[in-house]
C-alpha cells in the first residue's frame, strides 16, 4: 500500500504511480493499493497541479519501494544466514537461487516492525530495465468508472444527511441590502443560515432546499462593472509596469535588433476568459462530530482546503479531515474550497451532515476562470531568416510559457499585472496556452514575411534538440509539407515546451468561405516527456488535451455584462462536441534516457496556434484573437 497526498482527477496517476511501485518493489501490479488525498492518512502535499506528480512522486515512491525491497531481502538473508547479494526479489517473494528456498514478502514482514532511513544514493531501476512501468496497463478501477459504481463526492450518502443550497448574488461584487427569510424558516425541515452576505438553507431533499431558497426575499446592492466587449481595452489601459524583476527578462538590445532587421512585424493578440467546464461540478459533503470536521470534496489541494477550513471555523488543523474521492476532472479549476466551506457552514448550523452540489450555472458563474489577456509582440528577422529581435509583453494572463525557445540575441519578455475583473486562477497549462498561441502565430507570420517554409524557419532558429525532435516527428507523420488538393484547405504547425516536456502539432483545416464554416480535419501531435510510464495513459492525456484545446482555439469564451455571466450553460457556452473532433494521431517519443516529466498540461499548448496557422494558410487572414471563430469566419 502506498500513501500520497496527490489527488486523482482523471489524469490516471493512480495507475501510473501503482506501476512504478510494483516495478520497483517487484510485486504484481494488481497487488498494489494506493491511498490518495486523505489529510488524516497521507503525507502532506502542496497539491496536484503544475504537471508535478510524475516528476516528483514517482522518484519518491521508487526510492521508498527500493529501500523496502532491500530491507526484505536483508531479513531473508538473516533468516538463511546467507549474503543478501545473492538473493533475488520477484513476484512479491525473496528467493535464494542456490537453495531454491523462498519467502513471500508477507512471511518476511509478519510480526516485525521494519523501517530504515532512505539511502543517500539513488539506486532505483533505470527505465531501460522497467518490467511493469512503461507498459500500457489498464486504468485502476476502470470498470467502476464505466459502470457507474464509482462513488464521486456527489454520490456520497450519510445517515441523516441534509442537502444544502446557497443564495447567490445577482452579480459579482453585489452586497446584501436586506434578507426576509421568514417564509423559508416556516417550511418543514428547513434550516436557514445567515452570516453577513452568506445566506444558505438545508432541507431533507434538493427540491425542498431549492424551494426554501426561492422563498427568501433578498434585494442586493450592485455596482457597475466592465463587460466582455471592453475587456481587452481595459486590460491594456490598466496594465501595470513590472516592478518585480522576476516578471522581466532582458538580453541584448531589442532596439538594435529591430534596427538591424530586414523584416519587422508587430502584432497584438487577445485572449478571452474561458471556463474549466469539468464533467463533475464542485461538490462537498461535510460532517461535524465531537468538535471535529470531516469533508469529502473534489479538490486538487486537500491540505490547503483543510487549512482554510480550520481557519474559517477557528479549530485546529488536526480537527479537520479532508477526503478526496477520485474526481471527475479539474483542469486546474479546483484549487479552492468554496463548496467545502459552504457545506461545513451549513452542517454546523443544521447539526447534521450536509451535501452541497453546485449546479452547472453556479460552476460557470462562481468558479474562477482562465484569465483573459492582451499580448503584444514585436519580432525582427535578418535577410536569411534568422531572428534578430524579440519583444513580448503579456498583460494579465500570466507568465507560464512566456520565454521564447528560439535562438535570439536581442530579446525582452515582460508580464504586466492588471487588477482582476473576473475571478481568475489556474487552468490547464496556466498562461502557457495563451503565450504559445501568440508566439507561434507570430513566428508563422514572420516565416510568411520571409517567404520561408514555417517548419524550416523554426528549425533554422532552434538549437534545442528536444524541440527539433518533436517538430520533425510531427512533420514526418503529418507528411509536411502538404500540397493543397481542394479550395479552403490549409495546413499549419506549432511547437512549444513547458514543465519539462515538449510538443509539436500539425493541423489540417477545411474552410467554406461561402458559409463561414470551419472544420479541423486532422491533427498530428508529437509529444515527449522523458521516459513513458504508461503509453495508453499518456496517449489519453495528449488526445484529450488536443480536443479540449480546440474549444479555446475556436469558440470557447466567457461572456459577461455588468458583473453577470451571460452564457452560464452548455447551451450557450460552446465546448467541443463529437462532430468537432478531427482525425487525431498522437506520436509519443519515449526517451528512456531522460527522467519522466508530467504530461497533463503541455499537450494542450500547440493546438490553437497550429489551427490558427492552418486557417491563415487556407484564407490568407491572420486571426489573432482567441477564440478565433466563435461565430464562424466572416462570410466572403
In a domain, 313, yes or no: yes
Q: If you search the block for the grid coordinates 451535501, which residue do you land on?
A: 355
Range(s) of the domain holding residue 312:
153-221+282-357
Cα–Cα dist 29/18, whole Å: 7
Cα–Cα dist 519/375, whole Å: 26
Checking if the pLDDT of 120 tops 90, the result is no
In a domain, 229, yes or no: no
Checking if the pLDDT of 212 tops 70, the result is yes
> Same structural domain for residues 342 and 454?
no
Q: Tell me the pLDDT tens digit for each residue of 508-550.
A: 999 999 999 999 999 999 999 999 999 999 999 999 999 999 9
Cα–Cα dist 479/521, whole Å: 14
User: Dihedral (C-alpha) 229, 367, 496, 129: value to the nearest 10 degrees?
Assistant: -170
Among the three residues 357, 388, 423, which one is the final residue of a domain in this structure?
357
> Same structural domain for residues 143 and 168?
no
* Residue-averaged pLDDT of the chain: 96
| Average pLDDT for 198-223 | 98
Total tally of structural domains belonging to the chain: 3
What is the reported pLDDT for 70? 93
Among the three residues 110, 132, 147, which one is the final residue of a domain in this structure?
147
Annotate 69-84 with three-state secondary structure: HHHHHHHHHHHHCCCH
The DSSP annotation for 112-124 comes to -----PPPSS--P
> Same structural domain for residues 495 and 545?
yes
Name the pLDDT band for 118 (thresholds 50, 70, 90).
confident
In a domain, 230, yes or no: no
Q: What is the CATH number of the domain that holds 293?
A: 3.30.365.10
Q: Measuring CA to CA, which residue among 28, 38, 10 is closest to residue 141?
A: 10
Checking if the pLDDT of 635 tops 80, the result is no
| Average pLDDT for 490-513 | 97
Checking if the pLDDT of 636 tops 70, the result is no
> Same structural domain for residues 290 and 417?
no
Q: Measuring CA to CA, which residue among 390, 423, 370, 394 is closest to residue 239?
A: 394
Q: Do residues 47 and 17 make contact, with C-beta atoms less than 8 angstroms apart?
A: no
In a domain, 227, yes or no: no
| Average pLDDT for 143-147 | 95
> Same structural domain for residues 140 and 157?
no
> Same structural domain for residues 63 and 132?
yes
In a domain, 228, yes or no: no
What is the reported pLDDT for 113? 85
Q: How far is CA 340 from CA 28, 193, 300, 306, 312, in A?
A: 37, 15, 13, 9, 11
Among the three residues 147, 173, 188, which one is the final residue of a domain in this structure?
147
> Same structural domain for residues 433 and 505?
yes
| Average pLDDT for 74-78 | 96
> Same structural domain for residues 209 and 84?
no
What is the reported pLDDT for 634? 83
Among the listed ranges 116-120, 194-198, 344-348, 365-369, which one has the minimum average pLDDT value? Answer: 116-120
Name the pLDDT band for 243 (thresholds 50, 70, 90).
confident
In a domain, 364, yes or no: no
Q: Tell me the pLDDT tens digit for each residue of 383-417.
A: 999 999 999 999 999 999 999 999 999 999 999 99
Q: Do residues 41 and 294 make contact, with C-beta atoms less than 8 angstroms apart?
A: no
Q: What are phi and psi of 151, to 5 degrees?
A: -100, 105
> Same structural domain for residues 250 and 170?
no
Q: Cell numbers for 242, please give them.
A: 513590472
In a domain, 362, yes or no: no
| Average pLDDT for 10-20 | 97
Question: CB neighbours (10 Å) of residue 284?
Answer: 30
> Same structural domain for residues 308 and 404?
no
Q: Tell me the pLDDT tens digit for each residue of 288-328.
A: 999 999 999 999 999 999 999 999 999 999 999 999 999 99
> Same structural domain for residues 127 and 175?
no
> Same structural domain for residues 96 and 184?
no
In a domain, 231, yes or no: no
Cα angle 153, 159, 165 (rounded to 5 degrees) comes to 55
Q: What's the whole-model pTM score?
A: 0.96
What is the reported pLDDT for 121? 75
Amino acid at each position: 500500500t502506498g500513501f500520497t497526498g496527490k489527488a486523482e482527477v482523471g489524469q490516471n496517476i493512480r495507475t501510473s504511480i501503482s506501476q512504478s511501485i510494483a516495478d520497483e518493489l517487484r510485486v504484481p501490479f494488481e497487488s498494489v493499493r494506493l491511498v490518495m488525498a486523505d489529510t488524516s492518512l497521507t503525507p502532506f502535499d502542496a497539491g496536484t497541479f503544475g504537471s508535478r506528480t510524475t516528476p516528483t512522486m514517482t522518484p519518491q515512491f521508487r526510492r521508498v519501494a527500493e529501500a523496502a525491497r532491500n530491507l526484505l531481502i536483508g531479513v531473508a538473508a538473516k533468516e538463511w544466514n546467507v549474503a543478501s547479494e545473492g538473493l533475488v526479489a520477484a513476484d512479491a517473494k525473496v528467493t535464494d537461487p542456490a537453495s531454491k528456498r523462498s519467502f513471500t514478502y508477507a512471511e518476511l514482514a509478519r510480526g516485525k516492525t521494519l523501517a530504515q532511513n532512505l539511502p543517500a544514493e539513488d539506486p532505483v531501476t533505470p527505465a531501460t530495465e522497467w518490467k511493469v512501468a512503461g507498459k500500457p496497463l489498464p486504468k485502476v478501477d476502470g470498470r467502476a468508472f464505466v459502470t457507474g459504481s464509482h462513488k464521486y463526492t456527489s454520490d456520497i450518502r450519510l445517515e441523516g444527511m441534509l442537502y444544502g443550497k446557497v443564495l447567490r448574488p445577482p452579480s459579482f461584487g453585489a452586497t446584501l441590502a436586506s434578507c426576509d427569510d421568514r417564509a423559508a424558516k416556516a417550511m418543514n425541515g428547513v434550516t436557514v443560515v445567515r452570516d453577513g452576505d452568506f445566506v444558505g438553507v438545508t432541507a431533507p431533499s434538493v427540491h425542498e432546499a431549492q424551494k426554501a431558497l426561492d422563498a427568501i426575499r433578498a434585494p442586493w446592492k450592485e455596482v457597475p462593472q466592465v463587460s466582455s466587449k471592453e475587456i481587452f481595452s481595459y486590460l491594456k489601459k490598466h496594465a501595470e509596469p513590472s516592478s518585480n524583476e522576476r516578471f522581466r527578462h532582458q538580453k541584448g538590445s531589442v532596439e538594435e535588433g529591430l534596427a538591424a532587421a530586414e523584416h519587422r512585424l508587430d502584432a497584438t493578440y487577445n485572449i478571452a476568459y474561458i471556463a474549466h467546464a469539468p464533467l463533475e461540478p464542485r461538490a462537498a459533503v461535510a460532517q461535524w462530530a465531537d468538535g471535529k470536521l470531516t469533508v469529502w470534496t473534489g479538490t486538487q489541494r486537500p491540505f490547503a482546503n483543510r487549512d482554510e477550513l480550520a481557519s474559517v471555523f477557528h479549530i485546529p488543523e488536526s480537527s479537520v479531515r479532508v477526503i478526496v474521492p477520485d474526481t471527475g476532472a479539474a483542469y486546474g479549476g479546483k484549487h479552492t474550497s468554496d463548496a467545502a466551506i459552504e457545506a461545513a457552514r451549513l452542517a454546523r448550523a443544521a447539526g447534521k451532515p450536509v451535501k452541497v452540489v453546485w449546479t452547472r450555472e453556479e460552476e460557470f458563474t462562481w468558479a474562477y476562470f482562465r484569465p483573459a489577456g492582451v499580448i503584444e509582440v514585436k519580432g525582427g528577422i535578418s535577410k536569411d531568416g534568422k531572428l534578430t529581435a524579440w519583444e513580448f509583453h503579456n498583460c494579465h494572463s500570466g507568465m507560464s510559457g512566456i520565454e521564447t525557445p528560439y535562438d535570439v540575441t536581442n530579446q525582452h519578455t515582460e508580464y504586466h499585472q492588471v487588477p482582476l475583473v473576473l475571478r481568475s486562477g489556474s487552468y490547464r497549462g496556466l498562461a502557457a496556452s495563451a503565450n504559445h498561441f501568440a508566439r507561434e502565430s507570430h513566428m508563422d507570420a514572420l516565416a510568411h514575411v520571409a517567404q520561408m517554409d514555417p517548419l524550416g524557419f523554426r528549425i533554422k532558429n532552434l538549437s534545442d534538440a528536444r524541440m527539433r525532435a518533436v517538430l520533425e516527428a510531427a512533420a514526418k507523420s503529418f507528411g509536411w509539407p502538404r500540397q493543397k488538393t481542394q479550395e479552403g484547405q490549409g495546413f499549419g504547425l506549432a511547437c512549444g515546451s513547458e514543465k519539462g516536456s515538449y510538443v509539436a502539432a500539425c493541423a489540417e483545416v477545411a474552410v467554406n468561405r461561402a458559409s463561414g464554416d470551419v472544420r479541423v480535419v486532422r491533427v498530428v501531435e508529437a509529444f515527449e516527456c522523458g521516459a513513458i510510464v504508461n503509453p495508453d495513459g499518456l496517449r489519453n492525456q495528449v488526445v484529450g488535451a488536443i480536443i479540449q484545446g480546440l474549444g479555446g482555439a475556436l469558440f470557447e469564451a466567457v461572456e459577461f455584462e455588468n458583473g453577470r455571466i451571460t452564457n452560464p450553460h452548455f447551451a450557450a457556452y460552446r465546448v467541443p462536441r463529437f462532430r468537432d473532433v478531427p482525425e487525431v494521431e498522437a506520436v509519443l517519443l519515449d526517451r528512456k534516457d531522460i527522467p519522466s516529466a508530467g504530461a497533463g498540461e503541455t499537450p494542450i499548448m500547440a493546438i490553437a496556434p497550429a489551427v490558427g496557422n492552418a486557417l491563415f494558410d487556407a484564407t490568407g487572414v491572420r486571426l489573432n484573437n482567441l477564440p478565433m471563430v466563435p461565430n464562424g469566419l466572416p462570410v466572403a
